[in-house]
Structure 1
Amino acid sequence: MKKIIAILLLVVMSITMMVGCSAKETEKSDNELTKVVISEFRHLGWLPVYVAYQNGYFQKEGLAPEFALYKDGPIAFQGMHGGDSQFCLLSQEPVLKAEEEGLDSSIIYTVLDTRLYGFVGSKDVKSVKDLKGQAIFAGMPGSAPYSFVSAILKEGGLDPQKDVTFVNLDYSASMTALSQGQIKASYINVDNRTEIKNMDVNILVDTSSPTDAAKYLKTDVFTGEIITTTSKFAAENPETVQGFVNAVHKGTKWINEHNSEEVAKLVAPLFQGMEEDVLAIKIEIIKDAFTKTGYISEESQAAVDNFAIKNGVINTPIPYNKIIDMQFVNAIK
């Protein structure tokens, strides 16, 4: 694990700190607030956090949030464990892997109740089997997209370590690489349908489809996109963690009570370069998957464990109470 951490930290290109001042005024002055830093790579899946930020919910809980932006989830996660932040927004796979190797974390909230991932191929790729010997993109090793694409390849009868070449790209560059023939297939988030609608590509897998969700995730409820902190921080700062969870849950409720256009208008300042109407379309695609409660059940966690084991992320199931900490969700006010 030490080697993995070292490698991940070496590939960090930059970290951008965004000073935490909400779009709305709060009742407390800055010197009364507790600073919290959130490691992340910006993505619509974590909208409850961004809504909480824009609506001033963190400040109302006595917190002053800042974001630390990284190029991928595993790197953001290592930034948290390196002391750069107190909370991290990412998928479960890096957290489970680290837990198995002795790096303790507490998963405190899920933002989505299913995983909305896709896999697309160029126009001549009709099935996964057509990818043998080809270059593909799937995020960085250890990430959830990498595990997801590995699962797809295995289901298609290919060996991820032998039959394809994984290309290192930024997520934003993968569609260009696909259209230019530099790669033959790419992981996408389901909301990226907006980017591929005019591209001549084949959608090989889309887990927003119940059929594909059942085939690749093996469950209807897959709480893989989460918020985590270190176990040490959760134990030593329960009031801060509770305030953070309270704020995020208020953001979750706001999303579920407003339409996609209203959500897009609120969070647009955090997604600079994206037109508000496009942002609204993307949000509409994923909106029904947002959690209502933030709760991770033992059953849904078992599904995530099984997925991680099958795809070589971990070797054995991690006990639910060792990594899932729902005390803060249960105490939401």
Structure 2
Amino acid sequence: MRAVICSSFDQPETLTVETVPDPVAAAGEIVVEVHAAGVNFPDALMVMGQYQVRPPLPFTPGGEAAGVISAVGPGVSHLQVGQRVVVFTRTGAFAERLCAPASSATPIPESLSFEVAATLPLAFGTAMHALIDRAKIAKGETLLVLGASGGVGLAAVMIGKALGARVIAAASTDEKLALCRTHGADDVINYTTESLRDRVKAITNGLGPDVICDPVGGDLTELAFRSIAWGGRHLVIGFAGGAIPSLPLNLPLLKGASVVGVFWGSFEQREPVANARHLSQLMDWVVNGTISPVVSARYALHESASALRAMLERRVVGKVVVVATH
């Protein structure tokens, strides 16, 4: 089979597509014929050796995939060959087939496309965990989403609306903000042409947002936090903007507000039952039209470097996928 190979921690352009042996399912494992793999910011960081986890070299990048089970290992009884599933594996998804723990697989309904299913575990799972478990957002609260047109950002916009929040989407272009409005944003802010603090103050009548979803970091973090409501929760999700910000600790004190860390990867490992419940809810919402994940581009295996480069340069709107041809 063909797979994308990372032989050294370097820029995405050093990735190669190679022919490698087909995976074999050991006890408790399945082999999945990959139809689509989600592309995420951590994939690019992992290739460059800048992520929290450094997999042993060489490895195949890609943490989430949807496809059809082609083999099951000994001891696997709840899944079967021919079943449509989505899996989260941290690595291995940019390939024609991958081996995964059976516990990482979730069946997907026939009405859900492989491409959409492949976008759900990480970005939508992160937003779901952030808003429900970490922020405990309540119906009627105001949610400010930074980087609102990206994978996690747009997911937070949709999920925030599904949970009954008033959503303010902040992004860098009017085109991105138009997409956010299409997917439920009540108000929008272009933070390259407008003052984030002034607009937030005007939109919220000076009260500020109850919850801030922040997958961007950089200068936007402090600007947003200075606008947070009393008792607000600022969700630290990632640093797509590049810089890890420093926040003066007198600000949480004065605002009676919380800085809340969100690490979905650890949550998925530590609380698999809760994570499975979130994923099931997400699939229900997609099927009934409550949320509509955006797949804005599709890349072949040999174009994986271009997909990761687009991610690094923040040119991705919604989600993009790597599609394996069979």
TM-score of the superposition, structure 2-length normalised?
0.33
Greater relative contact order, per chain length (Cα 8 Å cut-off, separation 6+): 1
More helix by share: 1
TM-score of the superposition, structure 1-length normalised?
0.32
More strand by share: 2
